[in-house]
Amino acid sequence: MAYTLDPELAAVLRVLAEQSGPTPPPPPERDDWRALRARGTASMAWLASLLPAYPSGYPLVKAVAHTVRSRDGAEIPVRWYEKADSTPGSAVVYAHGGGMVAGSVDLYDSVIAGYVEATGVPFLSVDYRLAPDGATGTGPVEDVFAALAWLSDRSAGFGVDPGRIAVMGDSAGGGLAAGTAVLARDRGVPPARQILLYPMLDDRNLTPDPLLSPYVAWTWDDNWTGWHALLGEAFGTDDVPPAAAPARVASVEGLAPAYVEVGELDIFRAEAVGYAQRLADADVPAELHVHSGAIHEYDRLAPDSLLARRAMADRRRVISAL
């Protein structure tokens, strides 16, 4: 069976191939997290350039910096985005992507401001520590959970109903959002919903699929590097904490209702679909979208495409309904 890339995505990729010249830089070698971070940072900066710049492009959205304290005492920067003409009630705690080794709140300014402008729902964006030099194991997911707990504890001051706070993230951030939902269930601070965009859930996803290989933007070698950076010596063993790799959680019963979205041509497809299926089997409400012809980060690569606009409409619907 052959896959077919979405025509609008294919057109964007053709233009990029022409712009990159005949000898694009080689991909990072497996386990070179520094090179992967450098590539990821450059890629996210370019993707951000495809959106209106913040703050000028989102004049109604204001951001305020705060600091939360993680479980090990580390101080974690967070940023509260709120639309000036809206009344809070619900809120979203957001974890950015970056393969566990890259990304920042700054690089996601326009992404978060776009959600806030479109829905009127405020967001708390988390600058969690990156692996391996910032934190390993459950360190990053504890940072995101700390932000959820912090907002829940101070919800009255922000005009937020603590029962209407969701956790959300894309790629690695989607995995951290899912892990936060696990910690939150176990610690009695359950979110209203988990919104998982092409989430990175399973450290055991390391074997290339030859049918997918021609299309993948995040490769299995990248996946190996990101997971090894996060998990260190536990990588590949039974000692991996389920909160760090949520596909390993023994039971999904009692987890927050989920919205799960992934591209057909993404190496995370099987783990995202499998996780949604586990949730549904445990009677946890789960809405799943597998977008035909879509690669990893398809929505950011071609934000004006029909595919991206359809996905954004679904996300806005879910966020607005919190």
Tens-binned pLDDT, residue by residue, of the chain (322 aa): 689 999 999 999 999 888 855 555 677 899 999 999 999 999 999 999 999 999 999 999 999 999 999 999 999 999 999 999 888 799 999 999 999 999 999 999 999 999 999 999 999 999 999 999 999 999 999 999 999 999 999 999 999 999 999 999 999 999 999 999 999 999 999 999 999 999 999 999 999 999 999 999 999 999 999 999 999 999 999 999 999 999 999 999 999 999 999 999 999 999 999 999 999 999 999 999 999 999 999 999 999 999 999 999 999 999 999 9
pLDDT at 27: 79
Q: How far apart are CA 291 and CA 33, in angstroms?
A: 29
pLDDT at 196 (0 to 100): 99
Query: How high is the pLDDT of residue 24?
Result: 56
E strands, 215-321, where?
A: 258-263, 286-291
pTM of the model: 0.97
Beta strand 61-69 with 123-126 is: unpaired
Q: Supply the residues annotated as catalytic.
A: 171, 266, 296
Q: 17 vs 8, 20, 46, 150, 248, CA distance in Å?
A: 14, 5, 15, 44, 38
pLDDT at 17: 83
